[in-house]
Chains A and B, each alone.
Chain A
Amino acid sequence: MAKMKKQEEFEPKIVVFACNWCSYAGADTAGVSKIQYHHNVRLIRVMCSGRVNPAFVIKAFEQGADGVMVSGCHFGDCHYIFGNYQAKERFEMLKRLIHLLGLEKARLRLEWVSAAEGGRFAQVVNEFVEDVKKVGRSPLAPIKT
Protein backbone atom coordinates (compact mmCIF):
# COMPACT_ATOMS: atom_id res chain seq x y z
CA MET A 1 0.00 0.00 0.00
CA ALA A 2 3.05 2.27 -0.14
CA LYS A 3 1.93 3.63 -3.49
CA MET A 4 -1.09 5.28 -1.99
CA LYS A 5 -0.49 8.98 -1.71
CA LYS A 6 -3.19 9.98 0.68
CA GLN A 7 -3.90 8.02 3.82
CA GLU A 8 -7.15 6.20 3.34
CA GLU A 9 -10.02 7.95 5.04
CA PHE A 10 -11.69 6.03 7.84
CA GLU A 11 -14.93 4.59 6.57
CA PRO A 12 -17.04 3.48 9.53
CA LYS A 13 -19.27 0.44 9.40
CA ILE A 14 -22.72 1.40 10.52
CA VAL A 15 -25.76 -0.73 11.16
CA VAL A 16 -29.19 0.85 10.93
CA PHE A 17 -32.27 -0.97 12.16
CA ALA A 18 -35.19 0.58 10.31
CA CYS A 19 -38.84 -0.23 10.94
CA ASN A 20 -40.84 -1.57 8.03
CA TRP A 21 -43.64 0.98 8.16
CA CYS A 22 -41.87 4.30 8.51
CA SER A 23 -38.10 4.45 8.43
CA TYR A 24 -37.48 1.75 5.85
CA ALA A 25 -40.09 3.38 3.64
CA GLY A 26 -38.38 6.68 4.41
CA ALA A 27 -35.11 5.26 3.11
CA ASP A 28 -37.02 4.11 0.07
CA THR A 29 -38.37 7.60 -0.45
CA ALA A 30 -34.82 8.93 -0.25
CA GLY A 31 -33.84 6.43 -2.91
CA VAL A 32 -36.77 7.20 -5.19
CA SER A 33 -36.16 10.93 -4.89
CA LYS A 34 -32.48 10.28 -5.71
CA ILE A 35 -31.22 11.87 -2.50
CA GLN A 36 -27.61 10.85 -1.86
CA TYR A 37 -26.40 9.74 1.54
CA HIS A 38 -23.27 8.09 2.87
CA HIS A 39 -22.86 4.49 1.79
CA ASN A 40 -21.46 3.38 5.17
CA VAL A 41 -24.80 2.20 6.42
CA ARG A 42 -26.05 -1.37 6.39
CA LEU A 43 -29.78 -1.13 6.54
CA ILE A 44 -31.62 -3.91 8.35
CA ARG A 45 -35.38 -4.00 8.05
CA VAL A 46 -37.35 -5.00 11.12
CA MET A 47 -41.10 -4.98 11.47
CA CYS A 48 -41.04 -2.44 14.28
CA SER A 49 -38.43 -0.50 16.23
CA GLY A 50 -39.86 -2.32 19.25
CA ARG A 51 -38.62 -5.54 17.68
CA VAL A 52 -35.03 -4.45 18.14
CA ASN A 53 -33.88 -6.55 21.04
CA PRO A 54 -30.99 -4.93 22.92
CA ALA A 55 -29.09 -8.09 22.05
CA PHE A 56 -29.15 -7.13 18.35
CA VAL A 57 -27.42 -3.87 19.05
CA ILE A 58 -24.88 -5.39 21.40
CA LYS A 59 -24.19 -8.15 18.91
CA ALA A 60 -23.61 -5.55 16.19
CA PHE A 61 -21.01 -3.86 18.38
CA GLU A 62 -19.49 -7.23 19.27
CA GLN A 63 -18.99 -8.00 15.61
CA GLY A 64 -17.23 -4.73 14.99
CA ALA A 65 -19.85 -2.14 14.04
CA ASP A 66 -18.59 1.40 14.60
CA GLY A 67 -22.06 2.77 15.15
CA VAL A 68 -25.62 1.51 15.47
CA MET A 69 -28.79 3.46 14.77
CA VAL A 70 -32.31 2.38 15.63
CA SER A 71 -34.97 4.14 13.64
CA GLY A 72 -38.75 3.98 13.92
CA CYS A 73 -42.00 5.87 13.45
CA HIS A 74 -42.75 9.12 15.24
CA PHE A 75 -44.59 8.78 18.54
CA GLY A 76 -48.26 8.21 17.87
CA ASP A 77 -47.57 6.89 14.39
CA CYS A 78 -46.40 3.39 15.30
CA HIS A 79 -48.11 0.71 13.25
CA TYR A 80 -48.30 -1.39 16.39
CA ILE A 81 -49.40 1.59 18.51
CA PHE A 82 -46.73 1.52 21.25
CA GLY A 83 -43.75 -0.28 19.69
CA ASN A 84 -41.65 2.83 19.51
CA TYR A 85 -42.25 3.60 23.18
CA GLN A 86 -40.75 0.23 23.96
CA ALA A 87 -37.86 0.99 21.66
CA LYS A 88 -37.26 4.20 23.59
CA GLU A 89 -37.27 2.35 26.91
CA ARG A 90 -34.80 -0.23 25.68
CA PHE A 91 -32.66 2.44 24.18
CA GLU A 92 -32.20 4.05 27.59
CA MET A 93 -30.91 0.75 28.90
CA LEU A 94 -28.60 0.34 25.92
CA LYS A 95 -27.18 3.80 26.50
CA ARG A 96 -26.24 2.79 30.04
CA LEU A 97 -24.60 -0.44 28.86
CA ILE A 98 -22.64 1.31 26.12
CA HIS A 99 -21.43 3.85 28.66
CA LEU A 100 -20.28 1.08 31.02
CA LEU A 101 -18.38 -0.59 28.21
CA GLY A 102 -16.57 2.69 27.64
CA LEU A 103 -17.87 3.27 24.13
CA GLU A 104 -18.65 6.85 23.12
CA LYS A 105 -22.31 7.81 23.16
CA ALA A 106 -22.03 9.13 19.59
CA ARG A 107 -21.93 5.50 18.45
CA LEU A 108 -25.54 4.88 19.35
CA ARG A 109 -28.50 6.82 18.05
CA LEU A 110 -32.26 6.62 18.12
CA GLU A 111 -34.21 8.48 15.44
CA TRP A 112 -37.80 8.81 14.35
CA VAL A 113 -38.24 9.08 10.59
CA SER A 114 -41.58 8.82 8.83
CA ALA A 115 -42.21 7.27 5.41
CA ALA A 116 -42.48 10.68 3.75
CA GLU A 117 -39.26 12.07 5.19
CA GLY A 118 -36.77 10.82 2.60
CA GLY A 119 -34.71 13.96 2.89
CA ARG A 120 -34.64 13.73 6.64
CA PHE A 121 -33.52 10.09 6.52
CA ALA A 122 -30.56 11.06 4.34
CA GLN A 123 -29.75 13.99 6.60
CA VAL A 124 -29.92 11.90 9.78
CA VAL A 125 -27.70 9.20 8.30
CA ASN A 126 -25.18 11.76 7.06
CA GLU A 127 -25.04 13.42 10.46
CA PHE A 128 -24.58 10.08 12.19
CA VAL A 129 -21.81 8.97 9.84
CA GLU A 130 -19.97 12.25 10.40
CA ASP A 131 -20.34 11.88 14.18
CA VAL A 132 -18.97 8.35 14.11
CA LYS A 133 -16.09 9.41 11.86
CA LYS A 134 -15.14 11.96 14.51
CA VAL A 135 -14.92 9.38 17.31
CA GLY A 136 -13.04 6.94 15.11
CA ARG A 137 -12.85 3.20 14.87
CA SER A 138 -14.58 1.12 17.49
CA PRO A 139 -12.18 -0.47 20.00
CA LEU A 140 -14.02 -3.73 19.38
CA ALA A 141 -13.52 -3.73 15.63
CA PRO A 142 -11.00 -6.59 15.35
CA ILE A 143 -13.10 -9.07 17.34
CA LYS A 144 -14.12 -12.19 15.49
CA THR A 145 -16.70 -14.65 16.66
Chain B
Amino acid sequence: MVVKEEVLKKTQAYYCIDCGKCTSVCPISRFNGGFSPRRILISSLTGRYEETLKDEKLYACLTCGLCGTRCPSDVKFEEFIKNSRFEGQKLGNLIPCAHGGAIQSLMRIMTSPSLEQKRLAWVPRGAQIAEKGEVAYFVGCLPYFDAFFTDLEVDSLRIAKSAIKILNRAEVEPVLLKNERCCGHDLLWAGDLENFKRLAQHNIDAIKESGAHTLITTCAECYRTFKIDYPAYMGPLPFKVLHIIEFLIDSISQGKLNFKKTRKKVTYQDPCRLGRHLGMYEQPRMVLSNIPALSLVEMERNQQNAICCGTSGWMNCDAISKRIQSYRLKSARQTGADLLITACPKCYIHFKCAMKDPKIGKELEIEIKDLTSIMADALGR
Protein backbone atom coordinates (compact mmCIF):
# COMPACT_ATOMS: atom_id res chain seq x y z
CA MET B 1 0.00 0.00 0.00
CA VAL B 2 1.68 3.16 -1.27
CA VAL B 3 -0.34 5.56 0.87
CA LYS B 4 0.67 3.79 4.02
CA GLU B 5 4.37 4.15 3.22
CA GLU B 6 3.83 7.82 2.55
CA VAL B 7 1.96 8.40 5.81
CA LEU B 8 4.50 6.49 7.87
CA LYS B 9 7.41 8.31 6.26
CA LYS B 10 5.89 11.76 6.51
CA THR B 11 5.09 11.41 10.19
CA GLN B 12 8.42 9.75 11.05
CA ALA B 13 6.57 6.73 12.37
CA TYR B 14 9.41 4.46 11.22
CA TYR B 15 11.63 5.94 13.92
CA CYS B 16 9.40 4.57 16.69
CA ILE B 17 11.56 2.64 19.15
CA ASP B 18 8.61 1.05 20.93
CA CYS B 19 9.47 2.68 24.26
CA GLY B 20 5.84 3.32 25.25
CA LYS B 21 6.38 6.82 26.63
CA CYS B 22 3.47 8.00 24.49
CA THR B 23 1.09 5.57 26.15
CA SER B 24 2.31 6.36 29.62
CA VAL B 25 1.63 10.06 29.14
CA CYS B 26 -1.54 9.86 27.01
CA PRO B 27 -4.55 11.33 28.85
CA ILE B 28 -6.87 8.80 27.20
CA SER B 29 -4.74 5.78 28.14
CA ARG B 30 -4.63 7.05 31.69
CA PHE B 31 -8.37 6.57 32.06
CA ASN B 32 -8.94 3.92 29.40
CA GLY B 33 -6.46 1.09 29.51
CA GLY B 34 -7.62 -0.23 26.15
CA PHE B 35 -6.25 2.72 24.26
CA SER B 36 -2.57 2.85 23.50
CA PRO B 37 -0.84 5.12 20.97
CA ARG B 38 2.17 2.80 21.03
CA ARG B 39 0.06 -0.21 20.09
CA ILE B 40 -1.67 1.69 17.29
CA LEU B 41 1.66 2.75 15.83
CA ILE B 42 3.40 -0.59 16.21
CA SER B 43 0.54 -2.56 14.71
CA SER B 44 0.49 -0.15 11.76
CA LEU B 45 4.22 -0.61 11.30
CA THR B 46 4.03 -4.38 11.43
CA GLY B 47 1.62 -4.87 8.59
CA ARG B 48 -1.73 -4.29 10.26
CA TYR B 49 -2.34 -0.78 8.97
CA GLU B 50 -5.71 -1.68 7.41
CA GLU B 51 -6.95 -2.94 10.77
CA THR B 52 -5.84 0.31 12.39
CA LEU B 53 -7.88 2.24 9.84
CA LYS B 54 -11.02 0.29 10.62
CA ASP B 55 -10.54 0.44 14.37
CA GLU B 56 -12.69 2.79 16.42
CA LYS B 57 -9.64 3.68 18.48
CA LEU B 58 -8.34 5.71 15.58
CA TYR B 59 -11.04 8.24 16.47
CA ALA B 60 -10.49 8.13 20.23
CA CYS B 61 -7.20 10.06 19.99
CA LEU B 62 -7.51 13.68 21.11
CA THR B 63 -4.63 14.73 18.83
CA CYS B 64 -3.55 16.91 21.73
CA GLY B 65 0.13 16.28 21.01
CA LEU B 66 1.11 15.40 24.57
CA CYS B 67 2.79 12.21 23.34
CA GLY B 68 4.87 14.28 20.93
CA THR B 69 6.48 16.18 23.82
CA ARG B 70 7.83 12.92 25.27
CA CYS B 71 8.71 10.96 22.14
CA PRO B 72 12.49 10.45 21.90
CA SER B 73 12.21 9.81 18.14
CA ASP B 74 9.98 12.80 17.46
CA VAL B 75 7.18 10.79 15.85
CA LYS B 76 4.39 13.15 14.84
CA PHE B 77 1.61 11.04 16.22
CA GLU B 78 -1.21 13.54 15.74
CA GLU B 79 -0.19 13.96 12.09
CA PHE B 80 -0.16 10.19 11.76
CA ILE B 81 -3.68 10.01 13.17
CA LYS B 82 -4.88 12.82 10.92
CA ASN B 83 -3.49 11.21 7.78
CA SER B 84 -4.83 7.81 8.79
CA ARG B 85 -8.26 9.36 9.26
CA PHE B 86 -8.09 10.66 5.69
CA GLU B 87 -7.54 7.07 4.61
CA GLY B 88 -10.30 5.88 6.93
CA GLN B 89 -12.72 8.33 5.35
CA LYS B 90 -11.97 6.81 1.93
CA LEU B 91 -12.91 3.41 3.32
CA GLY B 92 -16.23 4.88 4.44
CA ASN B 93 -15.66 4.66 8.19
CA LEU B 94 -18.52 5.73 10.39
CA ILE B 95 -17.10 8.41 12.64
CA PRO B 96 -18.30 8.53 16.24
CA CYS B 97 -19.50 12.12 16.39
CA ALA B 98 -20.76 13.84 19.50
CA HIS B 99 -24.21 15.47 19.44
CA GLY B 100 -25.36 12.98 16.82
CA GLY B 101 -23.06 14.56 14.24
CA ALA B 102 -25.13 17.75 14.22
CA ILE B 103 -22.11 20.04 14.28
CA GLN B 104 -20.34 18.18 11.49
CA SER B 105 -23.58 18.38 9.48
CA LEU B 106 -23.69 22.13 10.03
CA MET B 107 -20.16 22.39 8.70
CA ARG B 108 -20.97 20.32 5.64
CA ILE B 109 -24.00 22.52 5.03
CA MET B 110 -21.63 25.48 5.05
CA THR B 111 -19.71 24.06 2.10
CA SER B 112 -22.68 24.97 -0.08
CA PRO B 113 -21.77 27.98 -2.23
CA SER B 114 -25.34 29.31 -2.41
CA LEU B 115 -25.69 29.73 1.33
CA GLU B 116 -26.57 33.23 2.58
CA GLN B 117 -26.04 33.14 6.32
CA LYS B 118 -27.48 35.63 8.79
CA ARG B 119 -24.66 35.42 11.25
CA LEU B 120 -24.03 39.00 12.28
CA ALA B 121 -27.14 39.69 14.34
CA TRP B 122 -25.08 39.68 17.54
CA VAL B 123 -22.94 42.71 16.70
CA PRO B 124 -23.52 45.35 19.41
CA ARG B 125 -25.02 48.59 18.22
CA GLY B 126 -22.19 50.90 19.16
CA ALA B 127 -19.51 48.71 17.59
CA GLN B 128 -17.47 50.18 14.80
CA ILE B 129 -17.18 47.65 12.04
CA ALA B 130 -16.36 48.02 8.38
CA GLU B 131 -17.32 46.36 5.12
CA LYS B 132 -13.86 46.59 3.67
CA GLY B 133 -10.61 47.32 5.39
CA GLU B 134 -7.13 46.29 6.42
CA VAL B 135 -8.01 44.07 9.34
CA ALA B 136 -10.62 41.32 9.38
CA TYR B 137 -11.94 39.53 12.44
CA PHE B 138 -12.79 35.87 11.91
CA VAL B 139 -15.70 35.03 14.17
CA GLY B 140 -15.77 31.34 13.29
CA CYS B 141 -18.47 29.10 14.72
CA LEU B 142 -19.24 31.25 17.76
CA PRO B 143 -22.79 32.26 16.70
CA TYR B 144 -23.60 28.59 16.07
CA PHE B 145 -22.20 27.49 19.42
CA ASP B 146 -24.25 30.18 21.09
CA ALA B 147 -27.42 28.86 19.48
CA PHE B 148 -26.53 25.23 20.04
CA PHE B 149 -25.37 25.26 23.66
CA THR B 150 -27.93 27.52 25.28
CA ASP B 151 -28.81 24.86 27.83
CA LEU B 152 -25.22 24.89 29.12
CA GLU B 153 -25.45 28.62 29.80
CA VAL B 154 -22.50 29.14 27.54
CA ASP B 155 -22.25 32.68 26.29
CA SER B 156 -19.80 32.08 23.48
CA LEU B 157 -20.75 35.24 21.64
CA ARG B 158 -19.35 37.20 24.55
CA ILE B 159 -15.92 36.25 23.18
CA ALA B 160 -16.75 37.83 19.85
CA LYS B 161 -18.23 40.95 21.47
CA SER B 162 -15.12 41.28 23.65
CA ALA B 163 -12.88 40.98 20.63
CA ILE B 164 -14.75 43.79 18.88
CA LYS B 165 -14.43 45.91 22.02
CA ILE B 166 -10.67 45.35 22.20
CA LEU B 167 -10.17 46.02 18.50
CA ASN B 168 -12.25 49.20 18.63
CA ARG B 169 -10.35 50.40 21.68
CA ALA B 170 -7.09 49.89 19.80
CA GLU B 171 -8.52 52.06 17.03
CA VAL B 172 -9.09 49.26 14.60
CA GLU B 173 -12.32 48.94 12.68
CA PRO B 174 -12.47 45.24 11.91
CA VAL B 175 -14.14 43.82 8.84
CA LEU B 176 -16.75 41.23 9.76
CA LEU B 177 -17.27 38.81 6.92
CA LYS B 178 -20.96 38.44 6.18
CA ASN B 179 -20.72 34.97 4.78
CA GLU B 180 -17.66 33.39 6.29
CA ARG B 181 -17.73 29.66 6.90
CA CYS B 182 -16.39 27.44 9.64
CA CYS B 183 -12.61 27.18 9.36
CA GLY B 184 -12.97 23.43 8.76
CA HIS B 185 -10.81 22.32 11.67
CA ASP B 186 -13.22 19.63 12.84
CA LEU B 187 -13.85 18.19 9.40
CA LEU B 188 -10.12 18.06 8.77
CA TRP B 189 -9.46 16.16 11.98
CA ALA B 190 -12.37 13.84 11.27
CA GLY B 191 -10.67 12.98 7.99
CA ASP B 192 -13.03 14.79 5.63
CA LEU B 193 -10.36 16.49 3.54
CA GLU B 194 -12.64 17.20 0.59
CA ASN B 195 -15.15 19.30 2.51
CA PHE B 196 -12.34 20.95 4.47
CA LYS B 197 -10.86 22.20 1.22
CA ARG B 198 -14.22 23.57 0.12
CA LEU B 199 -14.65 25.50 3.36
CA ALA B 200 -11.08 26.76 3.16
CA GLN B 201 -11.59 28.00 -0.40
CA HIS B 202 -14.78 29.87 0.60
CA ASN B 203 -12.98 31.56 3.48
CA ILE B 204 -9.88 32.49 1.53
CA ASP B 205 -12.03 33.98 -1.25
CA ALA B 206 -14.17 35.92 1.24
CA ILE B 207 -11.11 37.37 2.97
CA LYS B 208 -9.47 38.28 -0.33
CA GLU B 209 -12.64 40.03 -1.38
CA SER B 210 -12.74 42.08 1.81
CA GLY B 211 -9.27 43.39 0.99
CA ALA B 212 -7.91 42.54 4.43
CA HIS B 213 -4.17 42.02 4.95
CA THR B 214 -4.49 40.79 8.50
CA LEU B 215 -6.89 38.26 9.91
CA ILE B 216 -7.52 38.11 13.63
CA THR B 217 -9.07 35.13 15.36
CA THR B 218 -10.05 34.47 18.95
CA CYS B 219 -10.16 30.71 18.62
CA ALA B 220 -7.15 28.46 19.14
CA GLU B 221 -8.40 25.97 16.59
CA CYS B 222 -9.17 28.52 13.89
CA TYR B 223 -5.71 29.93 14.51
CA ARG B 224 -3.99 26.59 14.06
CA THR B 225 -6.04 25.83 10.97
CA PHE B 226 -5.27 29.16 9.33
CA LYS B 227 -1.66 29.12 10.38
CA ILE B 228 -0.67 25.53 9.60
CA ASP B 229 -3.36 23.69 7.66
CA TYR B 230 -4.47 26.32 5.14
CA PRO B 231 -0.93 26.87 3.82
CA ALA B 232 -0.32 23.11 3.83
CA TYR B 233 -3.43 22.13 1.88
CA MET B 234 -4.37 25.31 0.02
CA GLY B 235 -1.02 27.00 -0.69
CA PRO B 236 0.39 30.21 0.81
CA LEU B 237 -2.15 32.71 2.09
CA PRO B 238 -2.31 36.28 0.78
CA PHE B 239 -2.87 37.65 4.30
CA LYS B 240 -1.31 37.52 7.73
CA VAL B 241 -3.00 35.56 10.53
CA LEU B 242 -2.87 36.76 14.13
CA HIS B 243 -4.38 35.42 17.30
CA ILE B 244 -5.95 38.13 19.42
CA ILE B 245 -3.20 37.43 21.97
CA GLU B 246 -0.56 38.56 19.50
CA PHE B 247 -2.64 41.59 18.59
CA LEU B 248 -2.95 42.46 22.29
CA ILE B 249 0.81 42.19 22.78
CA ASP B 250 1.42 44.54 19.85
CA SER B 251 -1.17 47.07 20.96
CA ILE B 252 -0.02 47.05 24.58
CA SER B 253 3.60 47.60 23.59
CA GLN B 254 2.49 50.54 21.45
CA GLY B 255 0.63 51.95 24.44
CA LYS B 256 -2.79 51.82 22.81
CA LEU B 257 -4.45 49.85 25.56
CA ASN B 258 -4.46 50.15 29.32
CA PHE B 259 -6.14 48.04 31.93
CA LYS B 260 -7.80 48.68 35.25
CA LYS B 261 -7.17 46.82 38.47
CA THR B 262 -8.80 43.40 38.69
CA ARG B 263 -8.32 41.73 42.04
CA LYS B 264 -8.52 38.10 41.07
CA LYS B 265 -6.52 34.96 41.38
CA VAL B 266 -6.61 33.15 38.09
CA THR B 267 -5.22 30.05 36.52
CA TYR B 268 -4.70 29.40 32.83
CA GLN B 269 -5.61 26.34 30.77
CA ASP B 270 -3.31 25.92 27.76
CA PRO B 271 -5.41 24.84 24.79
CA CYS B 272 -3.62 22.05 22.95
CA ARG B 273 -3.86 23.81 19.59
CA LEU B 274 -2.35 27.02 20.89
CA GLY B 275 0.19 25.44 23.20
CA ARG B 276 1.70 22.24 21.92
CA HIS B 277 0.74 22.71 18.28
CA LEU B 278 1.95 26.29 17.96
CA GLY B 279 4.17 26.81 20.97
CA MET B 280 2.33 29.80 22.39
CA TYR B 281 2.97 29.35 26.10
CA GLU B 282 4.53 32.65 27.13
CA GLN B 283 2.34 35.03 25.15
CA PRO B 284 -0.99 34.46 26.92
CA ARG B 285 0.71 34.71 30.30
CA MET B 286 2.43 37.89 29.21
CA VAL B 287 -0.90 39.40 28.18
CA LEU B 288 -2.49 38.46 31.50
CA SER B 289 0.40 40.00 33.42
CA ASN B 290 -0.60 43.37 31.97
CA ILE B 291 -3.71 43.51 34.12
CA PRO B 292 -2.76 45.16 37.43
CA ALA B 293 -3.52 43.23 40.63
CA LEU B 294 -4.30 40.05 38.73
CA SER B 295 -2.32 37.13 40.06
CA LEU B 296 -1.71 34.05 37.98
CA VAL B 297 -1.20 30.70 39.63
CA GLU B 298 -0.22 27.66 37.62
CA MET B 299 -1.95 24.31 37.75
CA GLU B 300 0.05 21.25 38.64
CA ARG B 301 0.39 20.40 34.97
CA ASN B 302 0.86 23.46 32.83
CA GLN B 303 2.37 24.69 29.58
CA GLN B 304 3.86 21.73 27.72
CA ASN B 305 2.38 19.25 30.16
CA ALA B 306 -1.11 20.72 30.22
CA ILE B 307 -3.96 18.25 29.88
CA CYS B 308 -6.44 18.69 27.09
CA CYS B 309 -10.10 19.51 27.79
CA GLY B 310 -11.12 15.95 26.96
CA THR B 311 -12.79 16.15 23.57
CA SER B 312 -11.52 17.35 20.26
CA GLY B 313 -13.27 18.09 17.01
CA TRP B 314 -16.69 17.14 18.41
CA MET B 315 -15.76 13.48 18.33
CA ASN B 316 -15.88 10.84 21.01
CA CYS B 317 -17.45 12.61 23.90
CA ASP B 318 -17.77 9.81 26.43
CA ALA B 319 -17.13 8.83 30.03
CA ILE B 320 -13.37 9.12 29.44
CA SER B 321 -13.77 12.74 28.35
CA LYS B 322 -15.75 13.45 31.48
CA ARG B 323 -13.02 11.96 33.65
CA ILE B 324 -10.33 14.00 31.93
CA GLN B 325 -12.42 17.12 32.36
CA SER B 326 -13.11 16.47 36.01
CA TYR B 327 -9.41 15.77 36.63
CA ARG B 328 -8.51 19.05 34.96
CA LEU B 329 -11.16 21.07 36.78
CA LYS B 330 -10.19 19.58 40.11
CA SER B 331 -6.57 20.55 39.59
CA ALA B 332 -7.76 24.06 38.66
CA ARG B 333 -9.64 24.24 41.96
CA GLN B 334 -6.66 22.93 43.88
CA THR B 335 -4.61 25.97 42.89
CA GLY B 336 -7.01 28.09 44.96
CA ALA B 337 -7.77 30.26 41.96
CA ASP B 338 -11.24 31.72 41.65
CA LEU B 339 -11.23 31.98 37.88
CA LEU B 340 -10.12 29.58 35.18
CA ILE B 341 -9.02 31.20 31.95
CA THR B 342 -8.84 29.47 28.62
CA ALA B 343 -8.09 30.70 25.13
CA CYS B 344 -10.23 28.26 23.17
CA PRO B 345 -14.05 28.41 23.00
CA LYS B 346 -14.22 24.64 22.93
CA CYS B 347 -12.33 24.19 26.21
CA TYR B 348 -14.79 26.72 27.62
CA ILE B 349 -17.82 24.77 26.37
CA HIS B 350 -16.47 21.38 27.44
CA PHE B 351 -15.61 22.50 30.96
CA LYS B 352 -18.98 24.21 31.32
CA CYS B 353 -20.62 20.96 30.26
CA ALA B 354 -18.64 18.95 32.83
CA MET B 355 -19.76 21.36 35.56
CA LYS B 356 -23.39 20.60 34.66
CA ASP B 357 -22.98 16.98 35.67
CA PRO B 358 -25.76 16.17 38.16
CA LYS B 359 -23.54 13.96 40.33
CA ILE B 360 -20.07 15.46 40.41
CA GLY B 361 -20.84 18.90 38.98
CA LYS B 362 -20.81 20.64 42.35
CA GLU B 363 -17.28 19.44 43.11
CA LEU B 364 -16.01 20.84 39.84
CA GLU B 365 -17.55 24.27 39.84
CA ILE B 366 -15.21 27.15 39.16
CA GLU B 367 -15.84 30.35 37.29
CA ILE B 368 -14.52 30.07 33.77
CA LYS B 369 -13.86 32.79 31.25
CA ASP B 370 -12.21 33.16 27.91
CA LEU B 371 -8.98 35.13 27.77
CA THR B 372 -10.52 37.60 25.30
CA SER B 373 -13.45 38.29 27.64
CA ILE B 374 -11.29 38.93 30.69
CA MET B 375 -9.02 41.27 28.76
CA ALA B 376 -12.03 43.19 27.42
CA ASP B 377 -13.60 43.39 30.89
CA ALA B 378 -10.38 44.76 32.34
CA LEU B 379 -9.99 47.48 29.74
CA GLY B 380 -9.49 50.85 31.39
CA ARG B 381 -10.57 54.19 30.08
Contacts and interface: CB of A to CB of B under 8 A. Distances in A.
Interface of A: 53-56, 58-59, 61-62, 89, 93, 96-97, 99-102, 139-140, 142-143, 145
Interface stretch (B59-67, B99-107, B216-224, B323-331): B99-107
A58 B147 CA distance: 14
B211 interface: no
22 contacts: A54-B102, A55-B100, A56-B100, A58-B106, A58-B109, A59-B101, A62-B108, A89-B151, A93-B147, A96-B147, A97-B147, A100-B117, A100-B144, A100-B147, A101-B115, A102-B115, A139-B114, A139-B115, A140-B109, A140-B112, A142-B112, A145-B108
A41 B259 CA distance: 59
A130 B147 CA distance: 28
Contact of B118 (A56, A89, A102): A102
Contact of A54 (B100, B112, B115, B116): B100
Given A93-B148, A100-B118, A100-B147, A139 B102 contact: no
A62 B116 CA distance: 15
Interface residues of B, number: 23
Contacts, number: 65
A101 B100 CA distance: 19
Interface string B128-149: 0000000000000001100110
Given A54-B100, A101-B117, A102-B117, A93 B150 contact: yes
Contacts of A58: 102, 105-106, 109
Given A93-B150, A100-B143, A100-B147, A53 B102 contact: yes
B182 to A, nearest CB: 12
A139 B148 contact: no
Contacts of B144: 97, 100
A102 B109 contact: no
B267 interface: no
B106 A97 contact: yes
Contacts of A55: 99-102, 105
A143 B111 contact: yes
Contacts of B102: 53-55, 58-59
Nearest to B97: A55
A102 B147 CA distance: 14
A15 B135 CA distance: 43
A55 B98 CA distance: 10
The 9 closest A-B CB pairs, nearest first, are A55-B100, A55-B102, A96-B147, A139-B114, A53-B100, A102-B116, A58-B105, A102-B117, A62-B105
B54 interface: no
Given A55-B99, A100-B143, A101-B117, A62 B148 contact: no
B119 interface: yes
Nearest to A54: B102
A62 B105 CA distance: 6
Nearest to A139: B114
A78 B26 CA distance: 46
Contact of A143 (B99, B109, B116, B119): B109
Contacts of A54: 99-100, 102, 148
A115 B330 CA distance: 51
Contacts of A56: 100
B117 A61 contact: no
